[in-house]
């Protein structure tokens, strides 16, 4: 379930023709090199990235960059077709390093160390762009998961605001207390919390708090037991029964990844477990540690999306230089803001933080909290090639089967475990 993404609006497709200069990946006249770059996201991300690339072109007058932004829907279908045809953009935004590195579709970025500096990027982030010990992608931003809540709605309820140290049981109790207030919000009745039973990124934290990971170290099997998943879905089933979270019919529209359809964005819930790289509409958002983090945190310095260089690029050094600018330049960091989450370069984040206000300032403060010793754990093993199919399709479908009574929790969990392990074995 891609809940850390930006708004997957169709309007973003209109920007696909936007380009600072024309040309093909290997073209360029008069000695000028032309690069192509593509990414998915909402119009705000597209504009911010274009602004940063314009700064890059001013600093590198010998390089022209053709930008190709788009919406998430259909993005990977198009990219996969381009990779198969041998005509992918020089630089592209991706979520899963294993899928493309295993196809030899990415440049080993350690070969570009002369132009791409990773010295100010935490190793936890870099590990998520690595495959078989080699760095193939550089994180474009952070997506630290948080207990996100509306300061206005929680204050209106009179319930004590959540804080670090909250247990899962206390989270459920607070959600029920808010629901019982029967508040009226912009989306109708306000429930205490969103139902995160279909959100793999929230489930991942639950798994890691218990000493597991979503996947095994070799990526050939799941890294948690069936009972862990049964406990997760039973936890949320109890919250649905208590009215602490909305009914499934309210939750379901948001599972597509379109933030505008998420209950928290529509004012239907006061709290949610959400990624900080997502720009929520409205204001007064607050971010605190997830439930159950005391003593054995599951949170980690999680990347939002990565930048990779296409293996068949005719200009891999210049493409890596573009990534270096987007990730390491304070100017580029200011231009992009938090449209891909917080900067992963510590110096860029430090330079950007004083300029932030409102919700962005709250996100940056939470990022600094998670980065402190004792508030995070080591990153998980690199995600396998089957990650997207397992997390955005299979997991969601099985959770929905529970919602609508098509399967019991035990049946859905067994089906998920069997089918996910089969997919992992096939893709290994």
Is 329 contained in some domain?
Answer: yes
Asked whether residue 42 is domain-assigned, the answer is yes
Together in a domain, 293 and 151: yes
The answer to the question of residue 48 being in a domain is: yes
Q: Considering the domain boundaries, does residue 15 fall inside one? A: yes
Q: Which long-range contacts (CB under 8 A, 24 or more apart) does 175-184 make?
A: 175/239, 175/244, 175/245, 175/270, 175/271, 176/239, 176/242, 176/243, 176/244, 178/153, 178/154, 178/270, 178/271, 179/242, 179/243, 179/244, 179/245, 180/243, 181/157, 183/153, 183/156, 183/157, 183/270
Residue 4 lies in a domain: no
How do the pLDDT tens digits run along the chain, 428 residues long?
A: 344 433 333 333 333 334 343 333 444 445 799 999 999 998 989 999 999 999 999 999 999 999 999 998 899 999 999 999 999 999 999 988 988 999 999 999 999 999 999 999 999 999 999 999 999 999 999 999 999 999 999 999 999 999 999 999 999 999 999 999 999 987 789 999 999 999 999 999 999 999 999 999 999 999 999 999 999 999 999 999 999 999 999 999 998 777 888 999 999 999 999 989 887 888 799 999 999 999 899 999 999 999 999 999 999 999 999 999 999 999 999 999 999 999 999 899 888 988 999 888 999 889 889 989 999 999 998 889 899 899 999 999 999 999 999 999 999 999 999 999 999 999 86
Whether 101 and 34 share a structural domain: yes
Asked, for residue 38, whether it belongs to a domain, the answer is yes
Same structural domain for residues 332 and 191? no
Rounded to two decimals, the pTM is 0.82
| CATH number for 326 | 3.40.190.10
Residues 345 and 197 both lie in one domain: no
Is 363 found in the same domain as 392?
no
Specify if 410 maps to a domain: yes
Please check whether residues 181 and 269 belong to one and the same domain: yes
Is there a domain that residue 108 lies in?
Answer: yes
Residue at token pair 């602004």:
51
Identify whether residues 85 and 27 lie together within a single domain: yes
Same domain, 323 and 399: no
Residues 391 and 260 in one domain: yes
Check whether residue 135 and residue 179 sit in a common domain.
Answer: no
The total of structural domains in the chain comes to: 2
Longest CA pairwise span in the chain (Å): 69
> Which residue range is the domain that position 26 belongs to?
10-142+303-371
Q: Are residues 169 and 73 in the same domain?
A: no
Q: 112 and 159: one domain?
A: no
């Amino acid at each position: 379930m891609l809940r850390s993404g930006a708004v997957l609006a169709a309007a973003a497709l209109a920007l696909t023709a936007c380009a600072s200069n024309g040309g093909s990946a290997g073209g360029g006249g008069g000695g000028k090199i032309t690069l192509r770059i593509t990414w998915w996201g909402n119009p705000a991300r597209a504009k911010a990235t274009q602004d940063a690339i314009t700064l890059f072109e001013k600093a590198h007058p010998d390089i022209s960059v053709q930008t190709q932004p788009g919406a998430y829907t259909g993005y990977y279908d198009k990219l996969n077709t381009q990779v198969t045809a041998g005509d992918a953009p020089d630089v592209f935004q991706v979520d899963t390093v294993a899928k493309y590195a295993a196809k030899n579709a990415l440049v080993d970025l350690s070969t570009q160390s002369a132009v791409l500096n990773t010295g100010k990027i935490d190793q936890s982030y870099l590990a998520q762009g690595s495959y078989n010990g080699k760095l193939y992608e550089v994180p474009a931003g952070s997506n630290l998961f948080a207990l996100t809540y509306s300061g206005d709605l929680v204050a209106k309820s009179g319930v004590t605001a959540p804080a670090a140290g909250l247990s899962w049981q206390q989270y459920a109790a607070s959600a029920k207390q808010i629901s019982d207030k029967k508040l009226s919000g912009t989306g109708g009745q306000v429930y205490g919390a969103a139902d995160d039973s279909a959100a793999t990124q929230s489930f991942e934290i639950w798994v890691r708090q218990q000493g597991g990971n979503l996947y095994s170290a070799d990526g050939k099997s799941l890294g948690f037991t069936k009972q862990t998943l049964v406990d997760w879905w039973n936890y949320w089933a109890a919250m649905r029964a208590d009215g602490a979270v909305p009914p499934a019919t309210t939750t379901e529209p948001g599972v597509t990844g379109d933030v505008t359809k998420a209950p928290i964005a529509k004012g239907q819930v006061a709290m949610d477990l959400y990624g900080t790289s997502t720009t929520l509409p409205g204001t007064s958002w607050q971010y605190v540690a997830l439930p159950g983090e005391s003593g054995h945190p599951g949170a980690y310095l999680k990347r939002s999306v990565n930048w990779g260089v296409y293996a068949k690029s005719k200009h891999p050094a210049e493409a890596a230089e573009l990534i270096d600018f987007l990730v390491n330049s304070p100017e580029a960091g200011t231009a992009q803001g938090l449209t891909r989450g917080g900067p992963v370069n510590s110096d860029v984040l430090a330079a950007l933080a004083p300029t932030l206000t409102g919700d962005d300032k709250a996100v940056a403060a939470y990022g600094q909290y998670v980065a402190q010793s004792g508030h995070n754990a080591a990153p998980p093993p690199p995600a396998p090639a089957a990650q997207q199919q397992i997390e955005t399709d299979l997991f969601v479908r099985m959770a929905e089967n529970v919602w609508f009574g098509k399967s019991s929790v035990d049946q859905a969990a067994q089906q998920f475990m069997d089918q996910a392990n089969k997919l992992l074995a096939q893709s290994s």
